[in-house]
Structure 1
Amino acid sequence: MNYKILCSDLDGTLLSTKSDVSEATITEIYRIKEKIKVVLVSARMPKSMTYLQERLGIEHEPIICYNGALVLDQNKELNSVTIAISTLKSVYQLAEKHNIKLGLYYKDEWYVEESSERVEKEINYTKAYPTFRKTTDTFYDWKTRKISGAHKIMLMGTKETCDAIYSQLEDKFHKDIAIYRSNDTLIELAPKSVSKLSAIQLLLSQNQTLEDIIAFGDNYNDLEMLKQVGCGVAVANAREEVKAIANFVTASNTEHGVAKFIKEHVIV
């Protein structure tokens, strides 16, 4: 297989642990990176991706953060789309009714009201640290600094509270917000007008098309990307819906599935 760009999701896909890539993955990326552009595509914030770029020797390449809401080429901002503060306030009011806590993200800023088991896991997994303060204080601060809104909202609850709020979020915000169920206790919200695929399209040069791309993923927010590129590859631990639309299914992330597929199929 000959491709010009390789795009990969991180959590559950390229990462063999919760926070790092394996030596097998590093070896394969180093083998191809001079001939194929390698782009990391994630719901993570920039600082939680750049340390992985350094591990893979691709820090000179762009990164797609927050499911496409923020696209960076080193220090240059290629695209930035946020959820308006007015919408954030409505989400906050609904979350309060369900006793669900919010994580608010803007560029490399992350705000939560208090620590929790979930917040500590995020710190451990992403190597980023939040600022602890009231959500209403964050709204006021952003308005004062003329920040338009959040690149991502993370709702942190229990399975029961997330089950209860999910349909309400879809009913009220489906026109403006993309809603992803990360797991039983996490829901991620991103601007509806962008996606991993739309961000990838921004990076294509005049002589490139989506057919020139091989992409790897595991979750619902990878569906569109894997379906539209030249070759979409799901890891074995991916959602069944993702595996169903993929061109290929490789080994699981913990078995270094991306590295195995690159080694066996990607020619440079």
Structure 2
Amino acid sequence: MNQEIKLLVLDIDGTIAGKSNQIHAKVKKAIQAVRAKGIQVAVATGRMYRSALRFHHEIGSTLPLLAYQGAWIQDPATQKMHRHWTVAKQTAIQLLDYFEQPELRSLLSVHFYINDCLYVRELTSETRLYSERSGIEAIAVGDLRQALTTEPTKVLALCDDTEIIDNLLSSLRQQYTPAELYLTKSVATFFEATNPSINKGVGVRYLAEELLGITAANVMAIGDNFNDVEMLEYAGIGVAMGNAPSDVQAIAQWVAPSVEQNGVAVAIEKFLL
């Protein structure tokens, strides 16, 4: 590839952080080498802003951080909020009504993200694991409608049964057009809904074109799941991880080894160093 890459965008879970929830030394070293060459590095994640901050600092990014699939773009250095696009309150209530149908209610843990805080109906075992990994305390409120004092940034439904999540996604995609809601999976057990105007591709385009004055050809992006697809399609070089679902690998230009094999370091080595 002869285009000059000036921006490297990295997803967190399944990309720079595997089971250990830490960035491996090899990956960190490769990212440092990229920055030493004058290439900017940014994080684009489905995670909450607060939960993603430590990764942003660890990779030494000086750009705004893309959280919640790009619905929340904030610069940690200046605290400047570049973007915050929310889900309409009415839509959040409709989703909740859907999740609370008798046949679904006991199967799903529902998360509302409001002002970078996590609200749940009750603390399920799935929610506890999620809180532990993200380093965020979940606030149990009983009826989630009470938490909707303002519009949520994201709505998430979590279930260990991936078939239930797949059915949820296809059935809600029939009810909402892409112009009404952005629906995706960030891992096989997470159904996510955000503002229809956003996805990681839109967020990365904003960083590249609006803030840095570069084009898609100058961008390399690495991710591992369905919420990374738009970003991988946008970037001049889109790399999927070896642990990515085959549909995600199919749209990438190159497939790196898995996260546990430090695939990001291998991809950086191949294209940037």
Does structure 1 conserve the Cα–Cα contact (< 8 Å) formed by 2:109 and 2:126?
A: no
SS class of match (2:174): helix
SS class of match (2:100): helix
Paired with 1:156 and 1:20, the residues of 2 have a C-alpha distance of 22
Q: 1:130 is matched with which residue?
A: 138
Q: Which has the higher strand share?
A: 1
Q: 2:124 is matched with which residue?
A: 116
Q: Are 2:224 and 1:218 equivalent residues in the alignment?
A: yes
| RMSD, aligned CA | 1.8
Deviations for 1:114-157, whole angstroms, at most 9, x for unmatched residues? Answer: 11121111112111111111302102xx2xxxx3x111111123
Q: What does 1:91-240 correspond to in 2, within 5 Å?
A: 91-97=95-101, 98-99=104-105, 100-134=108-142, 135-139=144-148, 142=149, 147=150, 149-157=151-159, 159=161, 161-174=164-177, 175-204=179-208, 205=211, 207-240=213-246
Distance 1:161 1:76, change over 3 A: same
Paired with 1:72 and 1:138, the residues of 2 have a C-alpha distance of 23
Identity of aligned residues (%): 25
Paired with 2:119 and 2:181, the residues of 1 have a C-alpha distance of 19
Paired with 1:164 and 1:221, the residues of 2 have a C-alpha distance of 17
Q: Structure 1 residues 213-222 or 180-189, which shifts more? A: 180-189
The answer for unaligned runs of 5 or more in structure 1 is none
Q: 1:49 is matched with which residue?
A: 52
Distance 1:114 1:202, change over 3 A: same
Q: 2:262 is matched with which residue?
A: 256
Paired positions, count: 259
The answer for unaligned runs of 5 or more in structure 2 is none
Paired with 1:51 and 1:206, the residues of 2 have a C-alpha distance of 23
If the length of structure 1 is used for normalisation, what is the TM-score?
Answer: 0.90
One-letter amino acid of the counterpart of residue 266, structure 1: L
Q: Are 2:39 and 1:36 equivalent residues in the alignment?
A: yes
Q: Are 2:11 and 1:9 equivalent residues in the alignment?
A: yes
Distance 1:164 1:53, change over 3 A: closer
SS class of match (1:13): coil
Distance 1:125 1:36, change over 3 A: same
Deviations for 1:219-245, whole angstroms, at most 9, x for unmatched residues? Answer: 111112112211011111111112112
Shift of residue 183, structure 1, vs aligned partner: 4.5
